């Protein structure tokens, strides 16, 4: 009797448990279910045999073929995810063209039933001059597609951007249960057939296909299937509709599927496992796990205490947990709290005082920079620039801090030169460009006017042989001007200095003279407002790597109004170059620059300084020395030995005559710079012509001999060279 009652009680208990599970909807798999198919793990609600998968939908019935799991329509599955997704392999659709017709065409369609394409997929087409259409069928039909064009396998890049490959997002209606892919080619596209005979359309998970024009346009690297993410869910009800009948197990929660129907399950925080099993979600022991995601953050592992769904850091008696460091601190009260409050109050007061001092200092610095700006003529500069006519220079305003960094704190090793206008430093800007920074002399108030004047003058000039002004800084105690950096020093350095080897040939010197003369002619005649340089000298002529002349230092220059031919100004210039008429009368005109240029031309010819106290009393000034040599017919004695040769004596003598004309005492007797530039240019043409003529004559004499030419009749006449006191051949007729 007792045995019968025991068996009856056992059957009732089994029936009650089964009824409870069915009432809640928690169907559970058998314990002997196959859990693997090849290398893929099969977990509930998916299963391979009856009783091992959730019976509510056939999509959970997995067929294991050749050690590969498959769902409906023989779709191979690579991974199952509890979150409501699986990764499957779907075939491609192909269309091939044999030059006249499509000789291969395969449009694919998929019956997904209760599976849905995830938005993580891309609808992709690979091919040239092709298009692909995606159609879905359900309660609401939907179509989309893309177009790919190209005529060469050398696609500009390997991006799927419509050239050889195109793609579009997969955002089909949730109720779609049938999909169709149909690729197509434009007809008569024989130009691409040899490298792209086929076009392919397919779904692929985003990031799982990288297009390569050289590998994919021919045969898609032989790939016939691509990974695709499919969404699945339990039933057709939401979590709210299913209520307690959902199949989510213990320590899990239900969430509505992104498909728009059905639901999925997930383990609660602190648990892991299969949420679709009644006891599938197990507690994670954060104190012992090696997973970095779920590991505890207690500073001392000994204080970690595991609990269901989490952990605690337990401190021993007398200690408290510091949540910022997750470490145990001794419980301190009283004086420690007072000290903490006092420290905080002190820090607040200190920060407040520091903030106020910083604001006052910043305001004071701003006011000081503004004072310097006004003191250095910032207002005057703005006023003159706005009223001086059209400007050719974009003047940039540099900061005081930027100038300090560029010159390394105005380091003496950065000094390029010093003169009457101030000091010039080599500067390196943040973009690594090298500039020349000109700093006025401290305490010389007249320099401010000259610096502002230089900015004003250079703003009117746009010439390749004038040093370019890049900007200025007026926030410092003395103003700064920033110029382009000219690499090869001044003409004075090349002629008289020790920095450079004086190897300027006659051609170099003549070209430099022409460039300077042309620049001065431009300033006098072609600038928007006529400009007189007023300090033309070899120290103000810079040379770049190509020995191209750059006229610099316009601090003493003056703008001449269009209705005036001369100005009355305070005499300013450099001894040795200063126009004597301007010195005596104070009347400034363009002939003053002509005189200074004549001195520069004499320096180029003789290689001697404009003013030298080592020469005789009557010849200390180069002009007097030059005039005396010309009158006494001994010009060859003062010409630089590196300049004169047997081929250029006449040209040098003509250049010397031009220099004498430029340095006449009366300004009205001097030529204009425009005429000087033209004469020098004509002289260069003549020099070039002589050079070729002399080379030709030398070659002929070398081949035939001088006697042969004499026998045939020499038309040259013998003349006398007054420069070297020797006889010369007159070949003027042959030039």
Active site residues: 535
Residue 627's contacts (CB-CB under 8 Å, 6 or more residues apart) are 660, 663
136: left (phi over 0), alpha (psi -120 to 50) or beta: beta
Query: Rounded to whole angstroms, what are the CA distances from 397 to 49, 404, 474, 481?
Result: 82, 14, 8, 10
Cα–Cα distance, 424 to 485 (Å, whole number): 11
Residue whose token pair is 């003279």:
513
Are 148 and 163 in contact, with CB atoms under 8 Å apart? yes
Q: CA nearest 553: which of 542, 562, 544, 565?
A: 542
Task: Find the helix packing angle between 622-631 and 590-606, rounded to 10°.
Answer: 70
Task: Calculate Rg over the CA atoms of the chain.
Answer: 48
Q: CA nearest 572: which of 479, 416, 467, 453?
A: 453
Residue 196's contacts (CB-CB under 8 Å, 6 or more residues apart) are 127, 128, 150, 153, 164, 217, 218
Task: Find the helix packing angle between 590-606 and 506-521, rounded to 10°.
Answer: 170
4-38 per-residue burial string, b: 16 or more CB within 10 A, e: under 16: eeeeeeeeeeeeeeeeeeeebbbbbbeeebeeebe
In this structure, the dihedral spanned by the alpha carbons of residues 657, 662, 663 and 667, taken in order and rounded to 10 degrees, is: 140
Task: Find the helix packing angle between 673-704 and 649-662, rounded to 10°.
Answer: 170
Residue 707's contacts (CB-CB under 8 Å, 6 or more residues apart) are none
**DSSP assignment of 386-452, as one string?**
HHSS-----PEEPPHHHHHHHTTTT-GGGEEEEETTEEEEEEE-TTS-EEEEEEPPTT-HHHHHHHH
Cα angle, residue 594 at apex, residues 591 and 600 outer, rounded to 5°: 155
Compute the Cα dihedral for 232, 233, 238, 241 and give only its sign: positive
């Amino acid at each position: 009797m007792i045995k019968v009652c025991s068996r009856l009680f056992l059957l009732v208990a089994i029936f009650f448990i089964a009824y409870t599970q069915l009432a809640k909807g928690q169907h559970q798999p058998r314990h002997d279910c196959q859990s693997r198919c090849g290398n893929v793990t099969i977990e509930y609600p998916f299963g391979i045999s009856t009783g091992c998968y959730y019976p509510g939908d056939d999509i959970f019935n997995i067929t294991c073929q050749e050690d590969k799991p498959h769902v409906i329509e023989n779709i191979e599955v690579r991974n199952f995810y509890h979150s409501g997704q699986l990764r499957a392999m779907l075939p491609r659709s192909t269309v091939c063209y044999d030059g006249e017709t499509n000789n291969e065409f395969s449009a694919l369609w998929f019956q997904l039933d209760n599976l849905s394409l995830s938005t993580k997929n891309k609808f992709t087409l690979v091919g040239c001059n092709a298009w692909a259409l995606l159609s879905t069928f359900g309660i609401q039909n939907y179509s989309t597609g893309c177009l790919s064009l190209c005529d060469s396998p050398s696609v500009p890049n390997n991006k799927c951007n419509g050239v050889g490959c195109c793609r579009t997002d997969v955002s089909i209606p949730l109720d779609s249960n049938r999909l169709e892919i149909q690729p197509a080619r434009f007809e008569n596209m024989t130009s691409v057939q040899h490298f792209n005979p086929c076009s392919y359309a397919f779904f692929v998970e985003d990031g799982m296909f990288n297009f390569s024009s050289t590998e994919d346009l021919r045969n898609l690297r032989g790939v016939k299937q691509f990974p695709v993410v499919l969404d699945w869910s339990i039933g057709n009800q939401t979590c709210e509709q299913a209520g307690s009948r959902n199949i989510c197990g213990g320590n899990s929660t239900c969430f509505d599927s992104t498909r728009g129907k059905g639901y999925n399950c997930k383990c609660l925080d602190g648990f892991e496992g299969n949420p679709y099993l009644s006891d599938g979600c197990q507690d994670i022991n954060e104190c012992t796990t090696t997973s970095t995601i779920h590991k505890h953050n207690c500073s001392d592992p000994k204080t970690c205490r595991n609990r269901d769904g989490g952990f605690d850091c337990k401190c021993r008696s007398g200690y408290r947990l510091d949540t910022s460091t997750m470490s145990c601190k001794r419980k301190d009260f009283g004086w420690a709290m007072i000290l903490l409050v006092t420290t905080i109050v002190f820090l607040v007061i200190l920060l407040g005082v520091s903030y106020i001092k910083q604001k006052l200092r910043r305001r004071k610095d701003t006011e000081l920079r503004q004072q310097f700006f006004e003191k250095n003529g910032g207002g005057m500069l703005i006023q003159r620039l706005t009223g001086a006519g059209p400007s050719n220079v974009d003047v940039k305003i540099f900061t005081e801090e930027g100038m300090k960094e560029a010159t390394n704190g105005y380091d003496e090793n950065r000094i390029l030169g010093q003169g009457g206008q101030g000091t010039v430093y080599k500067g390196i800007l943040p973009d690594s460009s090298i500039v020349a920074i000109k700093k006025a002399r401290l305490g010389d108030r007249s320099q401010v006017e000259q610096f502002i004047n230089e900015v004003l003058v250079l703003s009117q000039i746009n010439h390749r042989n004038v040093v370019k002004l890049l900007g200025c800084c007026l926030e410092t105690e003395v103003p700064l001007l920033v110029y382009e950096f000219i690499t090869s020093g001044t003409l004075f350095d090349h002629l008289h200095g020790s920095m450079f080897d004086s190897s300027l040939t006659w051609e170099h010197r003549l070209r430099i003279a022409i460039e300077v003369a042309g620049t001065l002619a431009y300033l006098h005649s072609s600038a928007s407002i006529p400009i007189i340089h007023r300090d033309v000298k070899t120290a103000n002529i810079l040379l770049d790597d190509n020995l191209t002349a750059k006229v610099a230092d316009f601090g003493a220059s003056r703008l001449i109004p269009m209705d005036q031919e001369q100005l009355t100004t305070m005499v300013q210039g450099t001894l040795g170059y200063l126009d004597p008429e301007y010195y005596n009368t104070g009347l400034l005109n363009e002939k003053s620059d002509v005189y200074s240029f004549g001195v520069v031309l004499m320096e180029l010819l003789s290689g001697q300084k404009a003013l030298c106290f080592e020469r005789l009393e009557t010849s200390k000034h180069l002009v007097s020395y030059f005039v005396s040599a010309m009158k006494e017919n001994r010009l060859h004695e003062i010409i630089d030995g590196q300049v004169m040769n047997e081929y250029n004596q006449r040209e040098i003598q003509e250049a010397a005559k031009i220099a004498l004309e430029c340095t006449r005492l009366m300004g009205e007797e001097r030529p204009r710079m425009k005429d000087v530039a033209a004469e020098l240019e004509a002289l260069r043409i003549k020099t070039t012509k002589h050079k070729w003529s002399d080379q030709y004559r030398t070659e002929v004499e070398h081949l035939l001999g001088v006697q042969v030419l004499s026998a045939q009749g020499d038309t040259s006449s013998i003349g006398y060279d007054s420069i070297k006191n020797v006889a010369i051949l007159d070949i003027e007729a042959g030039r």
